[in-house]
Amino acid sequence: MSRFEPDDIYEYTGAVDVALSPDGERAAFVTSEYDPDEDRRRSSVFTVPTDGSRDPHRLTRASDASSPVWGPDGEKLGILAARKRDVELTVGPQEEEKDADEDDAEDAGGNGSGDDGPKQQVWVYDLARGGDARQITDRDEGVRAFDFGPDGDRVVFDARDPTDEQADRLETRHDDGPIEIERLNHKANGVGWLDDVTSYLFVASVDTRESHRLDDAYGSGSFEALSGLQPAWGPDGRIAFVANYEDDAEDSAVYDVHTIDPDGSNYERVTDGDRFCMNPAWSPDGDRLAFVARDPPMNWYRPAEVHVADDDGIRSVSESLDRTVALNAAASWTDDDTLLAPIGDEGWTRLVRCHADGSPAERVFDAQGDHRTLGAVDATPNGVVGTLTTADAPPDVYALDGLADAERLTDLNAGLVEEYDLPTHERVTFENGDGDEVEAITFLPPGFDRDDPEPHPTVALVHGGPMSYDTPGFNLTRAFFTNAGYVVICVNYRGSTSYGGDFAERLRGSRGDLETDDVVSGVDHLVERGWADPDRLFCTGFSYGGITSAHVAVREDRFAAIAPEHGIYDFYSNFGTDDNHLWHEDEFGLPWENVETYRDISSITRVDEIDTPMLITAGEEDWRCPPTQAEQLYLSVKKQDVPAKLVVYQNEHHNIGDPERAIHRIETLLEWFEEHGGQTE
């Protein structure tokens, strides 16, 4: 077996989304792949029969494609794609025809998100007749989400609709003119500087492509730029969507569910202004509407639950579990009274069955076992599909046959799994400094002997969030570290979800002490077991993991080197420079009213206690954890002659996406640790 090196990411293909056809006979799925020629991460759409009778069929190649949605008859499949304009929409003389994939590669400008390339539009495949997809929308600002109508002849879609005056201002921005903003929320990570353009729902004919705007269904609210309206067209003809129409929408985390008729009439608000609601989904008969909601809306530590609205009111149907719906996931109806939803459950993502009448939910799909975790999932009354992954196997698509078994439909990384040594995992539990039991998932290098271990260099890899959780699934960073000879410990510290609301909410209102205690206690546990070499301990983490890594550096000197990535270190100066002011205000109050609180939660306040070598990274256009935070920490430790290095990824937001940057990141982490004692045999 070969050592898995950072350059080998080009051999990796990840299944990241699935959609099941109404009859349950086919699944569409999205893959994430790395393109070495364009230095971009690409997303592609495939289909595969759920009986396993054929290999997957690729529908898209060069241009990015995502968000597959089946038409109600199962013969149409819609996607979002940024590709060359459909020739039927082009006016004027035509160039000599080229291969469609060549057109896409030349004209898409990468992922289609830039100003110079085509914008993401709705494209529809007629799978019964064959042929290429047909472009349905042609919006200058692109399309964010869509759904088919109950007859399959129309789509509803979410798109920005600037006035002529707004379009002129956007053009000025594009030409490097001044950015003028009067709204409270002035930036969003991955979106950039915001503006006053309103998004609306539109309904378009699949045949004629003619569309009309639903004036009473428009985007509003503090999360609108990131979340969109999320339209869902029900079988009775009503369209559900999410938005905040309160007077304080810009200064509120509320997101309500609304409904409207496709002609723009009969607008109604379903929820009552006290929840953060996402991902509406209609029951097969159209009498009920499910959605995922958090109540109270801004307390992210409390579990997000599946709710159902019908003539009897609104009720949580997963509350009995005290577990959160997996991040950004939705519930799927399997009949008019029953739903399936993926939840975080003690360091796994697993399926639960919820009942629309509110009776207790049940954990299902025991065949998942304790070694696999669920990724994306979709269900209809005729079946269930999902992605499953283990520590040593990247995610593949499975048909979850009756929730009693799982039939594998894809083998996306056969060569990678056969050629490279990939990690094994083991769960460990230990007591933190307060006497609480905490769980971690450890990932072990090739040849590691659990029974007669030799102490290894060990990396505490801290997850973000903090309202997230580590699972035993495949992860590129963990695979690189273990192949380099490191033990990796991923501690589900206090604040992590998947262990119930009380466990997660212990972190609320604090930063630094609790999660640092848990991470360090987990590392100490591995030292005691003889797995971790006490002289070769390292810590890193991304986003909230970066925040925690800096707090570890402040409070502990037992680590040989620490690498906070894309974090926040001075919460006081950070306020107003990121897109998280609502969260911080809800948890800590306003900084000018609670100066000491903001000082207490900031690692920069105690930076004089750091003597551990620090590698600090940032994204140049990160509006979640702005790069000025990394600069402050870097300069502060450098002034004290602490060995330090600053890495800023240009044109990158709160992410490391393109292949060369992803390779550089892991190589730089490994080099920093090896430079400070992490060399392996």
Q: What is the pLDDT of residue 62?
A: 67
**Amino acid letter for position 239:** I
For strands 289-294 and 313-316, give the pairing: unpaired
CA R_g for the chain? 25
CB 489 within 8 A of CB 522: yes
The C-alpha angle 252, 258, 263, rounded to 5 degrees, equals 135
Report the percentage of the chain scoring pLDDT > 70.
Answer: 96
Quick check: 107 pLDDT over 80? no
Quick check: 179 pLDDT over 50? yes
Q: In the predicted model, what is the mean pLDDT of residues 487-494? A: 98
pLDDT tier at 171, thresholds 50, 70, 90: very high
Report the candidate in 390, 419, 421, 386 with the shortest Cα–Cα distance to residue 401: 386
Q: Where are the beta strands (DSSP E) in 405-449?
A: 407-408, 424-431, 437-444
The better pLDDT of the pair 344, 370 is held by 344
Quick check: 70 pLDDT over 90? yes
Residue 113, Cβ density class (10 Å: 0-12 exposed, 13-18 middle, ≥19 buried): middle
Please give the Cα distance from 111 to 376 (Å, whole number).
Answer: 22
Q: Where are the beta strands (DSSP E) in 585-670?
A: 614-619, 644-649
The residues, any chain, with a CB within 8 Å of residue 136's CB and separated by 6 or more, are 78, 121, 122, 123, 124, 155, 204, 206, 209
Q: In the predicted model, what is the mean pLDDT of residues 132-160? A: 97
Quick check: 272 pLDDT over 50? yes
Residue 88 φ/ψ, nearest 5 degrees: -70, -20
Structure tokens of 139? 């919006």
Q: In the predicted model, what is the mean pLDDT of residues 363-374? A: 94
Quick check: 441 pLDDT over 80? yes
pLDDT tier at 186, thresholds 50, 70, 90: very high
Instruction: Say how many residues make up the chain.
Output: 681
Please give the Cα distance from 400 to 46 (Å, whole number).
Answer: 18
Q: Give the tens place of pLDDT for each residue, 652-678.
A: 999 998 999 999 999 999 999 999 998
| Lookup result for tokens 């030799």 | 454
CB neighbourhood size of 450 (10 A): 12
pLDDT tier at 61, thresholds 50, 70, 90: confident
Q: In the predicted model, what is the mean pLDDT of residues 288-305? A: 95
160: β partners: 199
Please give the Cα distance from 673 to 537 (Å, whole number).
Answer: 9
pLDDT tier at 115, thresholds 50, 70, 90: low
pLDDT tier at 532, thresholds 50, 70, 90: very high
CATH node for 423-678: 3.40.50.1820
CB neighbourhood size of 335 (10 A): 12
Helical packing angle, 544-555 and 513-529, nearest 10°: 70
Residue 97, Cβ density class (10 Å: 0-12 exposed, 13-18 middle, ≥19 buried): exposed
pLDDT tier at 233, thresholds 50, 70, 90: very high
Q: What is the pLDDT of residue 111?
A: 37
Q: Domain limits of the chain?
A: 423-678
CB 71 within 8 A of CB 79: no
* Dihedral class, residue 429 (left if φ above 0, else alpha if ψ from -120 to 50, else beta): beta
Q: Give the tens place of pLDDT for each residue, 611-656.
A: 999 999 999 999 999 999 999 999 999 999 999 999 999 999 999 9
